Amino acid sequence: MRRLLLLLLLLPFVAGFAQTGRTDNAQQPVRDPFFTTGNRRASAPPEKIKYVHSDKFQRSPDLYGGNPFFSGNVRFEHQGAVLKADTVVLYEKENFVKARRNVELTTADGSRLTARELEYDANTKKAIARGNVVLSDPQQTLKTETLYYDRNNNTAYFNTGGTINDGRNIVYSKTGTYFVDERKSVLEGNYTINNDQYLVEGRNVNYFRDQAFSVFNGPTTVTNKRNPSNYVYTEKGRYLMNSKEVYLEKNSRIHYRGKILTGDDMYYNQITGFGKATGNVQLDDPAERRYIRGGYGEIYEQKDSAMVTEKPYAVKILSKDSLYLSAKKILAFQKTDSSGNKKSFLRAYPQARVYKTNLQARADSLAFNETDGQLHFVGRPIAWTGEKQVSGDVIQAYMNMQREQLDSIKVSGNAFAISKADSLNNKDEFNQVKGRLMNVYLREGEIYLANVVGNAQAITYADNQDPKTKEMDRIGIALSTCGEIEASFLERKVRIITCNIGANTDLYPMSMIARERRFFPDFNWNTKDRLRRWQDIFLDSPDYPETVYISDDSLYERTRKAAEEAAQKNKPPARTRK
């Protein structure tokens, strides 16, 4: 009867433990390996956990190995920590407690841990909390289902998924360790850091709450939530969350306005939109099918502009060909025209160089309107296409971007065009047209017409084709001076179509014109500086050996010699004085 009465008195307390799915009647507590691993040897005997209060205190040899158990407003203390719960079992010999329902553990530093149940080892000062676990301090909360808490180094570990909320950022990870004193979270595996402006996703990060920065130790993406196409990717770096500054150190990319900046070491400010990269820099613009490479680069997102230096070069990818350009500095930017259309531009200076299979050019400065296909060369510019050379004060080349072909060239100031009279031989015979302003027109990449205005002059070779043999017979050289000249370039030949305004053309047979009169005084057929391959864009001059041409002045010399001999014969004999 007495035993029955004792059992009835214990039923409410036992029922409380039964609700958690455990009755724990073992003689010794079954402890998780967490309590016995990684512990330092104590220099002094551990302090016993101290019982403070409970509504009920009971002990039974049939329950919990005869250890005491408590219920109702239970309170224990241990080295500044206070444990509260509805029910607690104290394993006296092991200095170990199990608490259930409305568990709360408060430490001296102000940290507060709540859970459905908790195990605490006073010898090792370690605890395991389970069920709706919340670890909080005045600045943040950590929520998880199971938490391993070590008071020795004040760390909390979870592997069942945890969420950390500090009022500004919400951090989630499957596995992580929270260092309470340092306010640092080490998140392993996949994680997210979410705030009102940015979303950080990746693997393996150290998150420092008080300093508000993160250290990335694995693949990580920082996305602008207002514009998800703007984001940063890195596999190693740091993120200052208050100032929104990102330092990127490995396999990094900055995506902005449809462009991609990469480099060995990078920096980006998400507030100002300024970014920079050092080492193996590449700025890719897929919409323009163009990329820029160099040793150092800067981007200005809000101005939609960028700069690349340290041996920079740009490649405009075309379907059948590519255009390469280089200079000491390359600027890329976009502007909106009067119609509201956005256009892309490149500026390259100084020492601008351009290579394309059907166009090569050099100048001090280059401006390239990529959208409209306009190239503007300034500073002793010179351009080559086929066996033709154009120079002047300013050269403007116009490309048809749909056909990806050069349409025309405009030369302003001291315009000078030179072409081989016959590209199939190695004679020093060159057609030359010069003037103040020149417009050159191309068809299928070949010059077919030139219009020169203002003090126009031309030296052209005149040939006649035998209708039967189709062989060309050299007639002579025409020297033309006009206010305006229009010349055609057909089948490697030049023919003056019109010569207007003060026109004067003289045709000399080859036997009647000396070699020096076959060239203008400022003639300069430049084969030394001409780019022959795209890699030449990096050189001030490729400094190729000058092409040596064969000079044939034999007809003129024979004619001159014959004239001198005839004049000598016709010279009256000298008179002698008697």
Task: Read off the pLDDT band of 10 (50, 70, 90).
Answer: very low
CA atoms of 507 and 212, how far apart (whole Å): 85
pLDDT of 485: 87
Q: Give the confidence band of 84 by pLDDT, cuts at 50, 70, 90.
A: very high
444-499, pLDDT tens digit by residue?
A: 777 888 899 998 999 988 887 777 777 777 888 989 898 888 888 766 566 666 77
Structure-model confidence comparison of residues 471 and 508, the more confident one: 508
Strand partners, 213: 208, 240
Q: Which pLDDT does position 577 carry in this prediction?
A: 61
Report whether pLDDT(14) > 60.
no
User: Is the confidence at residue 40, as pLDDT, over 60?
Assistant: yes
Q: Assign 3-class secondary structure to 352-414.
A: EEEEECCEEEEECEEEEECCCCEEEEECCCEEEECCEEEECCEEEEEEECCCCEEEEEEEEEE
Residues 253 and 230 sit within 8 Å (Cβ to Cβ): no
Average pLDDT, rounded, for the chain: 88
Can you name the CATH fold of 380-578? Answer: lipopolysaccharide transport protein A fold (2.60.450)
pLDDT of 447: 80
pLDDT band at 28 (very low <50, low <70, confident <90, very high): low
The confidence score (pLDDT) of residue 361 equals 96
Convert the pLDDT of each residue in 343-356 to its tens digit: 999 999 999 999 99
Higher pLDDT among residues 304 and 31, named by residue: 304
pLDDT for res 492: 57
State yes or no: pLDDT of 253 exceeds 50: yes
Residue 398, judged by CB atoms within 10 A of its CB (0-12, 13-18, 19+), counts as middle
Sign of CA pseudo-dihedral 355, 358, 364, 366: negative
What is residue 189's predicted lDDT score, i.e. its pLDDT? 87
Q: Give exposure, 541-561, as e/b (b: 16+ Cβ within 10 Å).
A: ebeeeeeeeeeebeebeeeee
Question: What is the SS3 assignment for 4-19?
Answer: HHHHHHHHHHHHHHHC
* Residue 25 pLDDT greater than 60, yes or no: no
Higher pLDDT, 219 or 167: 219
For residue 114, what are its two tokens?
A: 């709540």
What pLDDT is stored for residue 45 in this prediction?
A: 84
Mean local confidence (pLDDT), 325-333:
97
The pTM (predicted TM-score) of the whole model is 0.82
Indicate the DSSP class of residue 29: -
pLDDT, position 3: 42
Question: Terminus-to-terminus CA distance in the chain, angstroms?
Answer: 186
In the DSSP assignment, the letter for residue 303 is: G
- When pLDDT is cut at 50, 70 and 90, the band that residue 559 belongs to is confident
pLDDT of residue 8: 38
- Choose the weakest-confidence range: 177-191, 232-246, 453-467, 487-501: 487-501
Q: Quick one: average pLDDT of 176-189?
A: 90
Cβ within 8 Å of residue 1, ≥6 positions away: none
The pLDDT score that the predictor gives to residue 182 is: 87
Give every CB contact of residue 527 below 8 A, 6+ residues apart in sequence: 544, 546, 547
- Which of the given ranges, 2-11, 25-34, 87-96, 500-509, has the highest pLDDT on average? 87-96
